[in-house]
Structure formats: C-alpha cells, structure tokens
Amino acid sequence: MVVASYPKSGDMTEGRSAKLELRNADTNRSIDATGKTYNGRYAFDGLTTMEPSLGRLLVGGFTISVGGQEMGTYKPNENDSAHVRKLAEACIG
C-alpha cells in the first residue's frame, strides 16, 4: 500500500528521503518515504504493508509527520469514502 502526504511548506527537494510517521495514542507506524512531484504537487510517499496496526490507524485516526515535522491529522467520519473503510477492513482481517 502506498501512503502519501502533501506538505504545504518545508524542504521540497526532489528525491529527498524522510520518515513518514502515522501515530495516535495506541499505534505508531514509520514508513521510509521519498519526495516527488506528481501532477504539479509535491508529495512524500512510501510503501507499507497492510497490517492490523495500519487498519487501526485508519479506523482510529492519526497525526502524520514527515521527517519529524507534523503535517496534519486524519480523523475518520461519516463522509469517509468506502475505499478507506475497505482498506481498514483488509488490514485488520
């Protein structure tokens, strides 16, 4: 599974390596990420496996950081698309 974050500022050097971290009170997931430009937008993305810990983050919400700098939070709500719920279910099993 690819996880991506679109920073609004900071070092946006093409090919820059950084740790992309998803965390909440119960779970922390660290992903090796690389900075790239897609369709004119800069993003950090990295591959991770679909495991229960990732599913718990998708269901419970998380803060996302890149290289130790907090980028924002995700909190699930009734407007979440079906694919996010299905991804969480696939991770949890």
| Contact yes or no for 92/56 (Cβ under 8 A) | yes
Q: What is the pTM of this model?
A: 0.84
Nearest to 45 by CA among 33, 58, 54: 33
13 to 3, 10, 20, 91: CA distances (angstroms): 19, 9, 15, 32
Closest CA to 43 of 87, 73, 8, 75: 8
pLDDT, one tens digit per residue, over 13-71 is 999 999 999 999 989 999 999 999 988 999 999 999 999 999 999 988 999 999 898 98
Region for residue 20 given its phi and psi (left: phi exceeds 0; alpha: psi -120 to 50; beta: otherwise) = beta
